[in-house]
Structure 1
């Protein structure tokens, strides 16, 4: 054990004890956070407009504070940008996390001095907890890389503004900076392919032990390293590589390909960060589900996913949720987000403690015929079939084909970039359709009732998704390909990459 890991070990053990203790008192923590938020919120413009002085209970809160998305929050953000203080939270935000929206254009999510520990303390605690639970902390004694967006900030109304992953770079403690790669200058490169080349050059001869990032972009990093060195596996290049940290997408569809590139299975830690808050993390290395971050400045609400667009949806606090129900997750936090729908859906797998799985995005689904297929369902169906056939998938997305040109029945169209296309694609497609029938009863009814024909797979050329993301200006960083679309925008853009029969 090296000097840093030896020094951190007792701290890590304390963090793990604190996490275990607080996980048993999640409901009490939520009640305390609710009271603290309301007390501070009373002094803000938002609190005065929504009569926080009359809020004494969660039922009162639901009467005074509606659910809103970014469009609903935007007028308050504009007031902050115009120089007004104490709008959503006391004072001014410490940062704006800049992210893209589908209808709002650029979104500016406030981060305050009170909310920063949620983002950065939670990430640290997740890693320290892993160290304490496994005894595995040698990654602290070598180099680490966080594949992220540029740390360069712009000023919006005097407030430093940038991508969340870039803001993170400014919060890395000094004791860890000597371990961190790539260099600041390289991290500032906006063009992903140019940045990737620099990252490879800077890291290829280093003692890399921890790699963190979104799986598809980590895959690009692996592949470029192998091309650069002529080696067969990543472990030949980084023999001490021992920790993979990821979040943002389900890792399972990428696992087989990434492990093939590495040469073995690397211990991993899943986290669930968002610009709006650090939601959950994997607290037990033996359990894939994520522990809700219930004692970290966020008061959570949950709405049954099928009700999210209702005028008066059912709103539940933590002690009212049930397992195996798909919920939209709503945030109220000490950055001044109130009744804020972040757009994700989750399902609890346990309530003692409160563990969950991310099931998809509110806007990423297919329901052209009332089936409401979600991301979790397509991912699990495809994973089951690829494992049976020993097939690896690079990336995929699904869209409805409502009006086939040949006049046949409508169907779900799967655009899949295979690592190697199945020899018997018809058999693969049939099995995949059978798995989808198992996953979604509404889809089963539509297939049985001849409303839909079985799904159709369009195998794509190599690097099709990377080329598509490049055309959208979203290559690299924290950008992700939507698994599902209820329209044809992505499908039509991918059509030119379909392999010829």
Structure 2
């Protein structure tokens, strides 16, 4: 009966989903008006005249497109407790994320509005869609196992116990209404532990005795947990522990490399997988069709969208398009204005539209080359700095390099990792020291990489492959790209490029 009541309650969101599917431009216009009206008395609202209640095109004329670095002076003031800067009132919660060029972490404001009308609304939508897609399954009949990070004091206000920073998953879980705790596992005291080895062990011991019907989280960590649960239970498959398991809501990294691994652990033919495109800044899209990789763009979740065409990615003042101007098959960088006070903010992701009625997208990458196969978010700036530190420590120099993921191999029992193909001008006296400094520097620069490398649990140490002299030149020549401005991509989120270069060794 409880399952039926909850299912009825969440499926009431289907009407709203169908409305923004059918009336996307109207919904986005109204959403922008609401954002501007709410923030009109803030410092930014007064500076840019939000009281005029202008439309998206006027927004593009009045406000600049901003990166995190551009917005940071204002965000820092918010972090320090100043109210009414970007959004009304004082913000007390911040999502901590990596990926910036000049800081180990970035801090994204999380307001009550962004939680209620963004993260939580999208969570209800995902459950509503899942129960509608799979009505014969008892998706809400048991517990949802959700894995998250942790949170701690705001470093800018360490004496203010009400202000916290942490992974967005931890922020969301900590602020969930009490009734929602009835639906999920493990309890908060386990879910929010900050020591990952202890966390995985204690959660595994707790949840093996729970009726888990749904999984929610990042594939990297979920795979570690499922393996530990099966080991503790002496089982071959996780469905021996949780016979009613039916759904995995996954996000943060591409699921392709993990699909076969999850199939081995969960061979049940009725197991379903749905993707979520969420970020510290909010929920962007969800998978609303079971047999498609396309994601439905969420249009009434506190985010107003603009899109930068590919030829404008590097422009100082990029031209943006409104939703009614985008075209199929083209790559766009996302620009968002949100109910957390992020105004015309470049989120850093690129998407491609696969459908315009309704609007569906696929994630195509980042505006810069990156490594994020396991949620580590290593950007080129991180890689270049780590290479430089390793060269200095070992007295060598690097002519060229590229790096790509090493995916999990269940049959060999191996973890994921990174393979670095490096062409040295001279070999370092100690290749092991080179790798150790490279790894250590990446951990210092990037908190997400550091978390994945903690005690080698989710990410193995970097693997070095030495390229003979002239390797990268030969590859560029084979592509007709030798000389001029052509460069070898430093980082790639797939193995296609690296494997192609390895074949010419």
State the match for 1:352 in structure 2: 357
> 1:51, 1:480 → 2: CA distance?
48
1:243 is aligned to 2:220: no
State the match for 1:386 in structure 2: none
Deviation at 1:93, TM superposition (A): 2.0
Alignment of 1:157-236 (within 5 A): 157=157, 158=160, 159-236=163-240
> 1:177, 1:321 → 2: CA distance?
40
State the match for 2:69 in structure 1: 71
State the match for 1:109 in structure 2: 108
1:131 is aligned to 2:131: yes
Among residues 251, 274, 280, which one is paired with 2:279 in the alignment? 274
> 2:493, 2:143 → 1: CA distance?
38
Deviation at 1:323, TM superposition (A): 1.2
Whether the 8 Å contact between 2:304 and 2:338 is mirrored in structure 1 is yes
Deviation at 1:295, TM superposition (A): 1.4
SS at match of 1:342: strand
Q: 1:219 to 1:62 in 2, by over 3 A?
A: same
1:473 is aligned to 2:477: no
Superposition TM-score, scaled by structure 1 size: 0.74
> 2:210, 2:94 → 1: CA distance?
34
Whether the 8 Å contact between 2:65 and 2:345 is mirrored in structure 1 is yes
Whether the 8 Å contact between 2:353 and 2:359 is mirrored in structure 1 is yes
Residue by residue over 1:346-385, the C-alpha shift from the partner in whole angstroms, topping out at 9 and shown as x without a partner, is 111101000111111222359xxxxxxxx8xxx9xxxxxx
State the match for 2:483 in structure 1: none
> 1:249, 1:343 → 2: CA distance?
15
Deviation at 1:314, TM superposition (A): 2.1
Where structure 1 has 5 or more consecutive residues not aligned to the other structure, the ranges are 367-374, 380-392, 403-408, 423-465, 492-497
Among residues 320, 329, 332, which one is paired with 1:324 in the alignment? 329
> 1:329, 1:297 → 2: CA distance?
15
State the match for 2:20 in structure 1: 22
Count the aligned residue pairs: 416
Where structure 2 has 5 or more consecutive residues not aligned to the other structure, the ranges are 388-398, 413-438, 463-487, 495-501
| Aligned alpha-carbon RMSD (Å) | 3.8
Whether the 8 Å contact between 2:261 and 2:410 is mirrored in structure 1 is no
Deviation at 1:276, TM superposition (A): 0.7
> 2:306, 2:346 → 1: CA distance?
9
Residue by residue over 1:247-270, the C-alpha shift from the partner in whole angstroms, topping out at 9 and shown as x without a partner, is 111212210111112223521221
Among residues 49, 57, 60, which one is paired with 2:58 in the alignment? 60
Q: 1:327 to 1:113 in 2, by over 3 A?
A: same
Q: 1:365 to 1:170 in 2, by over 3 A?
A: closer
1:314 is aligned to 2:304: no
1:49 is aligned to 2:47: yes
> 2:151, 2:315 → 1: CA distance?
39
Residue by residue over 1:394-413, the C-alpha shift from the partner in whole angstroms, topping out at 9 and shown as x without a partner, is x99999999xxxxxx97866
SS at match of 1:474: helix
SS at match of 1:144: strand
State the match for 2:431 in structure 1: none
Superposition TM-score, scaled by structure 2 size: 0.73
Deviation at 1:33, TM superposition (A): 1.4
Whether the 8 Å contact between 2:7 and 2:140 is mirrored in structure 1 is no
State the match for 2:267 in structure 1: 263
